Chain A
Amino acid sequence: MRSFRYICIAVLFAAFFLTGGCLPSPPEGTGGRSITLFGFSIMKEALEKEIVPAFVVKWKREHGEEPAFVSSFAGSETITNQILQGAPADVAILSIERDADRLVEGKAVTHDFHQSPHKGIINKTPFVILVRKGNPKGIQDFPDLAKPGVQIIHPDPVSSGGAQWSILSIYGSELKKSEAETGTADSGRALRTLQAIWKNVTATPGSAREARTSFETGYGDALITYELEGLLMKQAGAAVDMVVPKSTIFSEHPAVLIDRNVDASERPMMEAFIAYLWSDDAQKAFVKYHFRSVTNESFNDANKEFADIEQPFTIEMFGGWSKAYPEIIEKVFRDQVQKK
Chain B
Amino acid sequence: MSTNLSKVRHVRGFDLVKPFSITAMVAIMLPLVFLPLASIFIFGTSSGPQKFWDALMAPEAIFALKLSIVTSFWATVFNVFFGLFAAYVLSKYNFWGRNALIVTISLPTAVPTAVAGFALLLLWGPYGILGRYLEPHGIQIMFTATAIILANIFVTFPLAFGVIKPVFDTMNTSLEEASATMGATRWQTFWYVTLPSLRGAIVSGALLTFARAVGEFGSTILVSGNLAQRTQTAPLYIFAKFNEGQVEAANAIAIVLVVFSFLIFSILFIARDWLETE
Chain A contacts to B: CB under 8 angstroms: 2, 5, 9, 12, 16-17, 19-24, 26-27, 36, 41, 44, 70-74, 82, 85-88, 207, 209-210, 212-213, 216-217, 236
Contacts and interface: CB of A to CB of B under 8 A. Distances in A.
A9 B271 contact: yes
Given A23-B67, A27-B59, A88-B140, A212 B245 contact: yes
B121 interface: yes
B84 interface: no
A19 B66 CA distance: 8
A305 to B, nearest CB: 19
Given A71-B228, A86-B127, A213 B274 contact: no
Contacts of A217: 247
A20 B143 contact: no
A41 B228 contact: no
B229 interface: yes
Contact of A41 (B69, B73, B243, B271): B243
Nearest to A44: B244
Nearest to A16: B73
A118 to B, nearest CB: 28
Contacts of A88: 140, 143, 225, 227
Q: Which 9 A-B pairs have the closest CB atoms?
A: A20-B73, A86-B126, A24-B66, A87-B225, A213-B245, A72-B226, A86-B125, A72-B227, A70-B227
Contact of A70 (B69, B121, B229, B275): B229
B243 A209 contact: yes
What secondary structure prevails in chain A residues at the interface with B? mixed
Contacts of A236: 245
* Central interface residue in A70, A71, A87, A236, by most chain B CB within 10 Å: A87
Contacts of A27: 59, 229
B72 interface: yes
B242 A86 contact: no
Nearest to B43: A217
B67 A21 contact: no
Contacts of B126: 85-86
Contacts of B203: 9
A26 B225 contact: no
Interface string B207-225: 0000000000000000001
Contacts of A82: 225-226
Chain B interface residue bracket vs A: 35 or more
B235 interface: no
5 contacts: A9-B203, A44-B244, A85-B121, A209-B243, A213-B243
B69 A19 contact: yes
A28 B142 CA distance: 21
B228 A70 contact: yes
B70 interface: yes
A87 B142 CA distance: 8
Contacts of B67: 23-24
Interface in B114-139: 121, 125-127, 131, 135
A191 B88 CA distance: 65
Contacts of A12: 267, 271
A280 B227 CA distance: 28
Contacts of A24: 62-63, 66-67, 70
B255 to A, nearest CB: 18
A230 to B, nearest CB: 13
B227 A85 contact: no
A87 B267 CA distance: 38
B213 to A, nearest CB: 11
A18 B243 CA distance: 33
B74 interface: yes
Given A16-B73, A86-B131, A70 B243 contact: no
Contacts of A72: 225-228, 232
B227 A209 contact: no
B140 A86 contact: yes
A36 B203 CA distance: 40
A22 B247 CA distance: 30
A16 B74 CA distance: 11
Contacts of A23: 67, 70, 145
A35 to B, nearest CB: 12
Interface in B136-154: 140, 142-143, 145
A20 B229 contact: no
A26 B63 contact: yes
B133 to A, nearest CB: 14
Contacts of A207: 243
Nearest to B74: A20
A210 B59 CA distance: 23
Contacts of B74: 20
A24 B62 CA distance: 9
Contacts of A212: 245
Contact of B69 (A20, A36, A213): A20
B43 to A, nearest CB: 10
Contacts of B271: 9, 12
B230 interface: yes
Interface in B35-70: 59, 62-63, 66-67, 69-70
